[in-house]
Structure 1
Amino acid sequence: MRPFAGSRPPIIRIANGTFYRHHPSAASAHPNPPLFAHLDFELPSHSPEPHHWCVVGPSLSGKTTLLQILRGQHLCFPPTARSFPYLATEHVPHRLRNPQRAIQYVGFDSGSSLGPATSAYLSAR
């Protein structure tokens, strides 16, 4: 890991990562295209001014999948393309050094098989 010259390391850094649901060489009857190919992303851990983030896009465009990737889900190739430098610092309690504990997803989908109408209804409320 490279040193962070006087600044705080980012919460997450993705450098040319390609993400899959299943291992790309696994034999499967279902297609397994890359979820995101050659993704570059960095989320700073500190900023002089407050920032608010919003992930928007049409239905089925990959918003939830992107947020899952930021939490550490889905396979990353190469595996070292995704890192969580800030979570390894002394500023973070030991119990939160795992991305799936430290980074939470709050969604409005119901988790049921009722379809997109349920999600739209819940998000509108």
Structure 2
Amino acid sequence: MPGPPFPSRPPGGETAALVTQVVDELARRLAGENVPAPEDPPDIAGDARHHALVRLRVLAGVKQAVRHLEDQAAHAAAAGGAGYPEIGRAVSMSRQGARRRWPGLVTNSTHLSAPHRPHPGARDS
């Protein structure tokens, strides 16, 4: 019996918490959010706004990069024979949602490269 289609996630949302922590640290570094020196009088409102806007821009770039990586992984999964139902489950969306997100990703040629598994109750004709 084959194993799960993809590795299970750690319990309790640990993956999401870890990724959030790593991305937050990366965004802070890329945005250059350093603690001001004590001798510098802070313009608290102006500095906070500036840092928040720079960090927001960095996070938008991170989101774009993650989306690109998702697209690459979806293409690789389809090339490996995965259909829209499997791809959708991997990203917590429906088959239809995956089809809308990646139209034309699964074609007859990519789907036929996967081993044929009849649906339960399907009859050979």
Which has more helix, going by share of residues?
A: 2
- TM-score tier, shorter chain, comes to under 0.3
Q: TM-score, normalised by structure 2?
A: 0.27
Larger radius of gyration: 2
* Structure with the larger strand share: 1
For normalisation by structure 1, the TM-score amounts to 0.27
Higher relative contact order at CA 8 Å, sep ≥6: structure 1 or structure 2?
1
